[in-house]
Amino acid sequence: MTKTYVAHSVTPLFDDAFRHRLLDLFRWRRDVRRFRTDPVPPAMLDELLETACLAPSVGLSQPWRFVIVESPERRAAVRASFEICNAHALAIQDTDRAARYARLKLAGLDEAPCHLAVFAAADPEQGHGLGRGTMPETTAYSAVMAVHTLWLAARAAGLGLGWVSILDPATVMAALDVPSDWRFVGYFCLGYPQAESEVPELEQAGWEQRRPAASRILRR
């Protein structure tokens, strides 16, 4: 029996005005480090996570797993891991860069009202393995796509997201008591930014600057 799919809505028109606004969203998406302490409304967080789940995934497996970290004890364990890893990162930088790095306050862990940990299920039943036989890491890539979708949705809602990458994955997994076959993707701070800028904070601090797209494109 042949299935017939009927469209229930008209395909939206993404006109020039929309595309310009979308480009603004891309340009103004920032990795936020400094947050106000105003709480994120629970309904808004639910809506943002629903939007994140619209991201593409390998084999429609939706391997992302979001953990909302509310427990002060679990947050403290993550903060302790950051402190240890951050001290090590500072020790291996040259003196000038280390000083700049220290001033950036890369965590935001103390101020952000909402903490999220994102994981990827290594071998989810959903999707039936399609597309990941030769590249099993595509489940983690899919989770990152969900993070990026969340990032843009948060920015559009006036919120900022900050990725805390200076953590030990095993410590975070133990602190959050998640299944051992999940893969840690990242820990994120979410909230209202203290300040906003089109220029990335790392560029403002003189750490690095964005290169033009042409320098990252090869033709074969």
Task: Please give the structure tokens belonging to residue 166.
Answer: 């200076």
Q: Pinpoint the alpha helices (H) of 29-123.
A: 42-52, 72-91, 95-103
The CATH superfamily assigned to 31-192 is: NADH Oxidase (3.40.109.10)
**Residue 7 predicted with pLDDT over 70:** no
Q: Provide the pLDDT for residue 91.
A: 76
Phi first, then psi, for residue 116 (nearest 5°) are -130, 135
Task: Please compute the mean of the pLDDT values over residues 191-205 and round it to a whole number.
Answer: 87
Q: Provide the pLDDT for residue 203.
A: 83
**Residue 81 predicted with pLDDT over 70:** yes
Q: Provide the pLDDT for residue 93.
A: 64
Ranked by mean pLDDT, the top range of 35-39, 43-47, 206-210 is 43-47
Q: Domain segments of the chain: what residues?
A: 31-192
Q: Provide the pLDDT for residue 95.
A: 62
